[in-house]
Structures are given as structure tokens and as C-alpha cells.
């Protein structure tokens, strides 16, 4: 937890941004996996953490701008709770740590909101991502299902604070990135033919736990890299395979790291693997070199796409002008996702608030396949923390689908592509801070080139 002044300053800035009304913050509840007392790992809502800093279940808060009040709602532990959980500070003591002087029982929140509704006070709330939050809003505010209207001023106020990482936040993020790097380096060292993917996942996740961290998202460790988010860990790794690892640590305060690596199972990459891998590294390097304030991230994305198309053209897989191929969307056969995303208290920072606000500053997103998955497009600014993760994927189902429709035949050599349908896919990912004059790598450097990876094999 940061000093209470951090949280009071954040709340003051938010109040000035929104200007009027009542701001409602819904903390998270415990959630049962298969019965009530066998719960999933608890994770507090990130916006609640950002403004109130308390990582405890069962809390909610309001900032009543009109009445100049800040209140945390929750219940004190009973003796039954203490028997199972041990003694903890009181709710009032917890609230004081983050500069909030008033606390009330959880049941009082409904009454407080009903009074606000009765006097027609504007109640601001954020988009919800949990069913219980939606049910609470329907009950407390008298909203009919399907008519929820999250507050755009509230969303933009939060985004315009959380997008710019402070020095104390960067210390936490850097720690998460350092642990994340160690996770990937461990995977590179332990991987051997004959292992199960789950054994590699277990080894790298142990690094996070040994450093007092959790996971910022479910680990990807797969020989089927063509599936972008593959969380299955049951394959046996064979000679000639590549293992794609996408994993990250989360600090106790909730800040994330997010890195990817692609590892040859043998001591070296095959010649064909190296050809594709080197193209990916070229796209990655070009993107990193382009990072600086004022550059729209969509232009960095398009640059990386062109580099991929140029490289694949050199192998005879693509043809035509690479810039034209990217404009038409033909690159998405091999790169059907975005180049990166904001990162902070969420591994995809504030994704629940809407990419159009976080990554596009209110501008509309593209609907083109591949490009529509770009989570970040806006001009870069100092303080932004983001990932760079171009990839090259050979997805048999997509190959068959586009080939049957004769799509982009001016840019894709389907006859040559057929010989790569069993290649799978690869990506590498690093985390960067945008500085006043460029960008800085966050965390320890993990091997990027084939030579660097092979040195650990």
C-alpha cells in the first residue's frame, strides 16, 4: 500500500475531473469455485485499489462530490471470522490508512444511494464485469436489466489518471517485470524434450510464488503457438518443437508484468524456424525503435506489420507491395492480433472500462479483421506503460478459410503457404515505459534473438 497522501491526491484529482454527482466504487466479493467457502483467489477491483488501496473483500465506497464526503462501506469481522482468519485491523483503521475518515456498515450503502436517487443526484458508476455487481446496481439504483449506463465522465476521469504511471507505481511495475523476466529465463533453462507443458508452467510459476508474487494472468506454455491464448498444458514436448510462453507476475499491490518468449526445444532452432523467428524479431525491433511521445501507436503497429510482410515476401509466402498488403488487411493471415496494450494494475490496463477510452481516447476502433484486435492506437505520451508483442502465426483453419474464399490472392502465395501449415506460431513480448524522449525497457532483459535463446539452451 502506498502512503495515504497518494490515495487522497488521486481522489481529489478525480473529483475535480468529474465535477459533480456521486461516484460509486464497487469492490469485489469472494467468489466460490464449487461451494461458497472454497473460493477462487481473491483479487480486488483495480479501480477500487487505485483510489482506496484496500485489498479486502466485501467493500464498496462513494465519493460524494456534491456533499464533499468520502465513505467506505463494509462490515467488521465477527468472532467467527477471526477464528478462521485471525485478528485484523478494524474497518475504520483500514480506511484511515488511505485517508478516509468515515466508514459505515455495508447495509447502509443501499440507503445512501436511495436518498441520492430520491433527490435526483447524478450517480456515476463504471462498466461492470461481474454478475453480482450488475445485480447490485439493478437493486440499489432501480435500474431495469439491460438499461445500465456507465458514466463516461467517470470512465474518462479514471483513465486520464491511471494511464500515466507515477514514480512509485513504476517501482512496483518494475518489480513485477523483473520477476516476470526470471520466470521466462527459468523456462528457457528447464525446457527439455519429453517434458509436459505443465512441468514448464509449474517451474516458471514457482518463481513468481517464491518472490511473493501471484500471476497477472493464466500462464500460456504451449507447443501449439498458433492458438493465441492456449491455456492447455497437457502436450508432451518433442524434439523439433518450439514452446511459446506468455506469462507474467503480479505484485502484492496488484501491479503486473507481461512477457512472452518462444523457445526451441532442441539446443538450436531449425533453419526454417530461424527464418520466421528472425522476421518476428525484426518487426519487434522496428516497433521498439519507433516508440516515442507523439507517435500514434497505430503507426507503430502498421510498421511492424509491414516488416512482417516484407520478411514473408522474401520467403515467397507473401507477394506484392507490403504497404498495400497491410492496408488491405492481408497481414492478418499471419498477425491477426494487436501489437500491444497498456499495462499497470491490470495486465490489460483498464480493459473493463473500454478500449475505446483507454487505447483510443474516444476515437472509433477499426472493424477490419486483425486490426480490430489492436487494443492501443492513440498517440503515445510520457508515463504510458505498454507491451510490444508482434507475432507470426500459421493457423491451419484460417489458411483453409481464406484460401477457399480466394481472399487476398494478390498478396498471399497459398501454394507456398501450404508447406508452413504445421509451423505453429511464435511471439516475443517486452514491457516499455514511454519517456520524455523515447522509451525504456522495464525489468530485466530476457533473450530475444535466436542466438540469445540458444545461449540458454
DSSP for 299-311, written as a single string: HHHHHHHHHHHHH
Contact assessment for residue 334 and residue 393, using Cβ atoms and an 8 Å cutoff: yes
**Rounded Cα–Cα distance for residues 67 and 428 (Å):** 50
**pTM of the predicted model over 0.85:** yes
Which of 94, 109, 110 has the alpha carbon at shortest distance from 52? 94
Q: Which domains does the chain have, with CATH numbers?
A: 4-162 (3.40.350.10), 167-455 (3.90.230.10)
| Lowest pLDDT segment from 1-15, 67-81, 149-163, 191-205 | 67-81
Our measurement of the distance from residue 92's CA atom to the centroid of its chain's CA atoms, rounded to an integer in Å, reads 33
For 5-32, b where at least 16 C-beta lie within 10 A, e where not — what string?
A: ebbeebbeebbeebeebbbbbbbbbeee
Extract the C-alpha cell encoding 406. 480466394
Strand partners, 388: 430
Contact assessment for residue 144 and residue 44, using Cβ atoms and an 8 Å cutoff: no
- What is residue 23's three-state secondary structure? strand
Residue range 169-184: mean pLDDT, rounded: 98
Contact assessment for residue 149 and residue 183, using Cβ atoms and an 8 Å cutoff: no
Is the pLDDT reported for residue 318 higher than 90?
yes
**Farthest CA pair distance, the chain:** 73
**Rounded Cα–Cα distance for residues 40 and 20 (Å):** 37
**Residues 6 or more apart in contact with residue 206 via CB below 8 angstroms:** none
**Rounded Cα–Cα distance for residues 416 and 229 (Å):** 26
* Cell 494494475 belongs to residue: 345
Is the pLDDT reported for residue 82 higher than 90?
no
Residue range 242-252: mean pLDDT, rounded: 98
Extract the C-alpha cell encoding 324. 498495400
For the stretch 281-308, pLDDT in tens is: 999 999 999 999 999 999 999 999 999 9
Phi/psi zone of residue 370: left (φ > 0), alpha (ψ -120 to 50 degrees), beta?
A: left
Q: Taking all residues of the chain, what is their mean pLDDT, rounded to a whole number?
A: 96
Residue range 46-66: mean pLDDT, rounded: 97
Is the pLDDT reported for residue 350 higher than 90?
yes
Is the pLDDT reported for residue 163 higher than 90?
yes
| Lowest pLDDT segment from 134-143, 211-220, 399-408 | 134-143
| Lowest pLDDT segment from 103-117, 140-154, 179-193, 350-364 | 140-154
- Separation of first and last alpha carbons in the chain: 39
pLDDT of 335: 98
pLDDT of 186: 98
Q: At 77, is the pLDDT very low, low, confident or very high (cuts 50, 70, 90)?
A: confident
Say how many residues make up the chain: 457
Amino acid at each position: 500500500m502506498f502512503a495515504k497522501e497518494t490515495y487522497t491526491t488521486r481522489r481529489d484529482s478525480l473529483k475535480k475531473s468529474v465535477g459533480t454527482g456521486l461516484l460509486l466504487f464497487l469492490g469485489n466479493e469472494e467468489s466460490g469455485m464449487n461451494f461458497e467457502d472454497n473460493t477462487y483467489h481473491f483479487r480486488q477491483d483495480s479501480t477500487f485499489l487505485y483510489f482506496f488501496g484496500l485489498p479486502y473483500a466485501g467493500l464498496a465506497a462513494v465519493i460524494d462530490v456534491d456533499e464533499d464526503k468520502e465513505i467506505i462501506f463494509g462490515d467488521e469481522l465477527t468472532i467467527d471470522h477471526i477464528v478462521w482468519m485471525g485478528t485484523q485491523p478494524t474497518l475504520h483503521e483500514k480506511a484511515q490508512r488511505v485517508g478516509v475518515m468515515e466508514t459505515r456498515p455495508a447495509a447502509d450503502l443501499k440507503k445512501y444511494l436511495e436518498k441520492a436517487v430520491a433527490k435526483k443526484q447524478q450517480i456515476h458508476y463504471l462498466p461492470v464485469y461481474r454478475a453480482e455487481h450488475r445485480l447490485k446496481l439493478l437493486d440499489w439504483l432501480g435500474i431495469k436489466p439491460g438499461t445500465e449506463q456507465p458514466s463516461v465522465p467517470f470512465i474518462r476521469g479514471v483513465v486520464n489518471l491511471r494511464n500515466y504511471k507515477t514514480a512509485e507505481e513504476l517501482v512496483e511495475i518494475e518489480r513485477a517485470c523483473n520477476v516476470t523476466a526470471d520466470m521466462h529465463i527459468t523456462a528457457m533453462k528447464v525446457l527439455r524434450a519429453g517434458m509436459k507443458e505443465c512441468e514448464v508452467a509449474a517451474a516458471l510459476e514457482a518463481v513468481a510464488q517464491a518472490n511473493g508474487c501471484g500471476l497477472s494472468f493464466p500462464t500460456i506454455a504451449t507447443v501449439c503457438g498458433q492458438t493465441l491464448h492456449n491455456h492447455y498444458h497437457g502436450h508432451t514436448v518433442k524434439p523439433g518443437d518450439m514452446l511459446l510462453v506468455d506469462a507474467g507476475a503480479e505484485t502484492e499491490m496488484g501491479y503486473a508484468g507481461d512477457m512472452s518468449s518462444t523457445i526451441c526445444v532442441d539446443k538450436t532452432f531449425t533453419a526454417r524456424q530461424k527464418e520466421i523467428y528472425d522476421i518476428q524479431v525484426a518487426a519487434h525491433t522496428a516497433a521498439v525503435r519507433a516508440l516515442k511521445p507523439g507517435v500514434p501507436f497505430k503507426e507503430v503497429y502498421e510498421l511492424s506489420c509491414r516488416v512482417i510482410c516484407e520478411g514473408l515476401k522474401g520467403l515467397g509466402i507473401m507477394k506484392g507491395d507490403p504497404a498495400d498488403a497491410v492496408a488491405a488487411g492481408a497481414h492478418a493471415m499471419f498477425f491477426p492480433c494487436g501489437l500491444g496494450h497498456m499495462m499497470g494494475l491490470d495486465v490489460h490496463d483498464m480493459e473493463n472500462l473500454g478500449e475505446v477510452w483507454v487505447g483510443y481516447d474516444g476515437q472509433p476502433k477499426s472493424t477490419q479483421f486483425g486490426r480490430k484486435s489492436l487494443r492501443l492506437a492513440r498517440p503515445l505520451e510520457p508515463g504510458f506503460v505498454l507491451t510490444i508483442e508482434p507475432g507470426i502465426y500459421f493457423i491451419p483453419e484460417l489458411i483453409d478459410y481464406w484460401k477457399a474464399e480466394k481472399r487476398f490472392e494478390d498478396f498471399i502465395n497459398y501454394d507456398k503457404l501450404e508447406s508452413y501449415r504445421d509451423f505453429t506460431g511464435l511471439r516475443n513480448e517486452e514491457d516499455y515505459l514511454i519517456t520524455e524522449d523515447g522509451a525504456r525497457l522495464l525489468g530485466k532483459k530476457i533473450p530475444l534473438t535466436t542466438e540469445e535463446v540458444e545461449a540458454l539452451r
